Amino acid sequence: MKRLALGLGLLLGYGQPTDSVEAVRFLRREVRRLCRFEGRAPLTPGGRKAEAYLLKRLRQMGYSPQTQRVPLSVYRLTHAEAQALTARGWTRWKLGEDFLPSAGCPPLQGEWPVDTLPREGYAWWVPEPHPLTKVRQLAREHGVALVLYPTPRLTGSIAPEPDSVAVVYRRGELQRPQQVRLRIQGRLEWGTAANVWVKRPGQRADSAWVVGAHYDHLGRVGSLTFWGANDNASGTALLLLLAQRLVQKPPPPYDVYLVAFTAEELGLIGSQAWVASPPYPLARVRGMINLDLVGFGEKGVAVVGGSDQPAFWERLDRLRVQQGWNVPLLVRPNAPNSDHYPFREKGVPAVFFYLQGGPGYYHDGQDRPATLTWTGAYPLLRWIEEVLYLP
Ligand SMILES: [Zn+2]
């Protein structure tokens, strides 16, 4: 209905769609496309398709995109199923709803009696959350093959290699069964994934800005796909939109490097590789802006690395105020939670912007394109453009 009304409006000459409507349309389309690539995990077919797609899109815009190959390993969980025996008989646990293997869960197949104490030959039903490192240590000491670990939310991650102990997260409210049956398969793979980047030449090359967003996500665990719409197809789409707009605008005062990072979810591996051998001297980078989780914004904008770089942050924030974007701001100190961090470690001023709001889907099967509201992406984009055009 909305689409029809807009079309009718255009036909009747009610005016062109505004810049922000066009921008959000672009973002929605790009996120839908990026979410077709099976969770975009490095070294998977989906990860390679995502890389190829970014190269194609950037070429279409007139850039000559570059890749930086990054060697890495990924442990992929290719199959996961679980059944539990209760008084009502055997029931199947649903992957992603009742259980989720930890990212490094080693391959495992069999049937175990369940106990709340760590005992050899039993699956250890940990009654309530304890520090996982301690749980793993106890499991090893007691010869436990399988740990069933409670969590209120099943949150996925991705590991570079298998662990020595099998930890399977279970939904906290599940009743303890007498027996569990599990089949988990995984495969360790080695290869290279790629950072994809372009340069928009500025009027001067004596310093540069870097804007980055990671395009990788968690891929799949068995039949469960982690789509990663907000994390971080949203930031990748915003990076593409910025790329397109920068070629249509006059050259910015300084060079701008736009980087789609790989393997953020594996531990900031792509951005670490970038700062280890950057195509431009880091000492001459004016600042780095990282975009990750930008599909919402009803609850405002958060900036990681704002409070501990007051001078840099105030220069940026002044432009937001000038632009009139009055929005709740959460200004946080630096933290190793996304791709700005390796830049900070090298002494480059860097901030990580994310937008707050939404239903809270995170590293699960529900982080899908249709859930995104795109409330804050356009004003955030305009703000970043102001930064890049600051003389
Ligand atoms: Zn992310």
Q: List pLDDT tens digits, range 322-349.
A: 999 999 999 999 999 999 999 999 999 9
- Please give the full DSSP string across 234-253, using - where no structure is assigned: HHHHHHHHHHHHHHHSPPPS
Q: Could you report how far apart the first and last alpha carbons of the chain are, in Å?
A: 44
Residues 6+ apart with CB under 8 A from 245: 381, 385
Q: Does domain 77-187 have CATH number 3.50.30.30?
A: yes
Does the domain formed by 19-74+190-388 have CATH 3.40.630.10? yes
Helices (H), 35-69: 45-60
Per-residue pLDDT of the chain (391 residues; tens, 9 = 90+): 444 444 444 444 344 469 999 999 999 999 999 999 999 999 999 999 999 999 999 999 999 999 999 999 999 999 999 999 999 999 999 999 999 999 999 999 999 999 999 999 999 999 999 999 999 999 999 999 999 999 999 999 999 999 999 999 999 999 999 999 999 999 999 999 999 999 999 999 899 999 999 999 999 999 999 999 999 999 999 999 999 999 999 999 999 999 999 999 999 999 999 999 999 999 999 999 999 999 999 999 999 999 999 999 999 999 999 999 999 999 999 999 999 999 999 999 999 999 999 999 999 999 999 999 999 999 999 999 999 999 9
Find out whether 59 and 270 touch, Cβ atoms under 8 Å.
no
Closest to 231 (Cα-Cα) out of 290, 295, 288, 289 = 295
Q: How far is the CA of 228 from the centre of ligand 1 (A)?
A: 8
Q: Which two tokens stand for residue 164?
A: 């020595």
pTM (predicted TM-score):
0.93
C-alpha 274 to ligand 1 mean position (Å): 17
Q: Rounded CA gap, 336 and 137, in Å?
A: 25
DSSP for residue 14:
-
Q: Domain ranges for the chain, please list them.
A: 19-74+190-388, 77-187
Helix (H, G, I), strand (E, B) or coil at 122: coil
- What is the distance in A from the centroid of ligand 1 to the CA of 139? 31
Residue 195 sits at φ, ψ, to 5 deg, of: -75, 140
pLDDT at 7: 45
Question: Among 48, 169, 182, which Cα is nearest to 110's?
Answer: 182
> How far away, in angstroms, is 331 Cα from ligand 1 center?
18
- Count other Cβ atoms within 10 Å, centred on residue 170: 23
How many Å lie between the centroid of ligand 1 and the Cα of residue 4? 35
* Dist. CA 84 → ligand 1 center (Å): 33
Could you tell me the distance, in angstroms and rounded to a whole number, from the CA of residue 292 to the centre of ligand 1?
Answer: 5
